[in-house]
């Protein structure tokens, strides 16, 4: 609770001292037929600051740019989704997904979360709307690409059985990520240098918020706890060489280049249920592939939409 209060005070001081609010209504960006105004960017800024306190380390210009890009991504997704579905923003089932958001802020329940949001002049309905878009987007990706997902369940099972003794000690990693793309070697080096500079001058979370194209950028790149068996061998090999507080060099994956930060790790002895472990690994691998398809598909439709900044 004390941590939550200190975050709140810091954010509100940030907003007041830097005076980011503007009084004149202006259209800032056209995304296809949709518009984004300066007031929309202000609200998105408050939303991102509320959910990602590390943004307080950035300049006003950087935060506005992050807010603008966040809204552009949201508009692009909405424009694509309405071709296939009617998004139900009022679905009462969506409220339960807010728990994952406020628990990361050490907020105990929905009532406290509503109070917290009100300090940023936000309503929980605005959070739920964003959840509705993301969950509907995930549905679209599953329906479009699920038949392309390939998981060698037999190979995974054989690997588990061959290493059964080693699995008695379960290793888990608390990780964050930055996923970026580049058009050429020069572009790659420029982006990578900027990422490193931001990490050194601010934090990994700040760099993720600015440069990551993954949806996790909204949360400063935070992924959460993952078990050794839920990640690829290449990622595990890179992680196993890190101490807590360090990050990997860029790892080439289908959707770009991945940098992983090790927040914490833990090991514990436990009896492994091979069937349950197999199910978890299969789900993790399917989600990994779907996430890559999601990024690739988004970049494809982004190129088809006219984005005009005023």
Query: Is residue 44 scored above 70 in pLDDT?
Result: yes
**Residue 166 predicted with pLDDT over 60:** no
Q: What integer pLDDT is reported at residue 156 of this predicted model? A: 86
Of 144, 172, 195, the residue that ends a domain is 144
pTM of the model: 0.84
pLDDT band at 20 (very low <50, low <70, confident <90, very high): very low
Highest mean pLDDT among 28-32, 72-76, 158-162: 72-76
Average pLDDT over residues 196-225: 92
Joined together, the tokens standing for residue 199 give: 């990490």
* 106-126 confidence digits (pLDDT tens): 899 999 999 999 999 999 999
Report the number of distinct structural domains present in the chain: 2
Is there a domain that residue 90 lies in? yes
Q: What is the pLDDT of residue 205?
A: 92
Decide if 309 is inside a domain. Answer: no
Distance (Å) of CA 239 to CA 166, 236, 247, 251: 18, 5, 8, 11
> Which of 113, 144, 175 is the endpoint of a domain?
144
Reported as a single tens digit per residue, the pLDDT across 245-278 is: 999 999 999 889 999 999 999 988 777 778 888 8
Judge if 199 and 243 occupy the same domain.
yes
pLDDT of residue 232: 85
Task: Show the domain range for 160.
Answer: 153-304
The owner of tokens 């860029």 is 250
Question: Per the structure block, which two tokens stand in for 252?
Answer: 């080439």
292-307 pLDDT, tens digit per residue, is: 999 999 999 999 998 8
Mean pLDDT of 154-162: 83
**pLDDT score at 2:** 43
Has residue 11 got a pLDDT over 70?
no
Residue with more model confidence, 279 or 7? 279
Q: What is the pLDDT of residue 1?
A: 44
In angstroms, the CA 206 to CA 273 distance is: 39
Considering only residues 13 and 244, tell me which one the structure prediction assigns the higher pLDDT: 244
Give yes or no: residues 128 and 216 share one domain.
no
Tell me what the pLDDT averaged over the chain comes to. Answer: 87
Residue 18 has pLDDT above 80, yes or no: no
Same domain (yes/no): 165, 231: yes
| Among candidate residues 144, 173, 205, the one where a domain is terminated | 144
**Is residue 256 domain-resident?**
yes
Q: In the structure, what pLDDT confidence band is assigned to residue 164 with cuts at 50, 70 and 90?
A: low
Residue count of the chain: 310
Domain-located, residue 310: no
Same-domain status, 157 and 290: yes
CB atoms within 10 A of CB 90: 10
Residue 255 lies in a domain: yes
């Amino acid at each position: 609770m004390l941590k939550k209060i200190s975050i709140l005070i810091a954010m509100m001081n940030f907003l007041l001292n830097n005076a980011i609010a503007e009084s004149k209504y202006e259209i800032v960006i056209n995304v296809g037929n949709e518009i984004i105004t300066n007031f929309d960017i202000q609200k998105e800024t408050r939303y991102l600051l509320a959910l990602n306190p590390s943004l307080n380390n950035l300049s006003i210009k950087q935060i506005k740019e992050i807010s603008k890009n966040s809204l552009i991504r949201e508009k692009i997704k909405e424009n694509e989704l309405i071709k296939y579905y009617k998004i139900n923003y009022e679905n009462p089932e969506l409220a339960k997904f807010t728990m994952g958001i406020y628990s990361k802020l050490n907020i105990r329940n929905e009532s406290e979360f509503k109070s917290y949001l009100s300090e940023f002049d936000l309503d929980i309905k605005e959070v739920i709307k964003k959840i509705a878009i993301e969950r509907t987007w995930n549905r679209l990706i599953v329906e479009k690409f699920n038949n392309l997902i390939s998981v060698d369940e037999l190979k995974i099972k054989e690997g588990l059985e061959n290493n059964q003794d080693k699995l008695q000690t379960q290793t888990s990693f608390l990780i964050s990520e930055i996923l970026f793309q580049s058009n050429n070697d020069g572009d790659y080096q420029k982006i990578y240098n900027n990422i490193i500079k931001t990490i050194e001058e601010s934090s990994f979370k700040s760099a993720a918020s600015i440069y990551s194209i993954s949806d996790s950028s909204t949360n400063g790149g935070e992924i959460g706890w993952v078990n050794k068996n839920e990640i690829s061998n290449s990622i595990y090999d890179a992680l196993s060489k890190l101490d807590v507080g360090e990050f990997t060099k860029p790892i080439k994956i289908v959707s770009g280049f991945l940098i992983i930060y090790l927040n914490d790790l833990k090991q514990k002895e436990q009896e492994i249920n091979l069937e349950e472990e197999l199910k978890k690994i299969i789900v993790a691998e399917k989600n990994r592939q779907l996430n890559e398809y999601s990024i690739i598909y988004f970049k494809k439709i982004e190129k088809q939409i006219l984005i005009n900044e005023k």
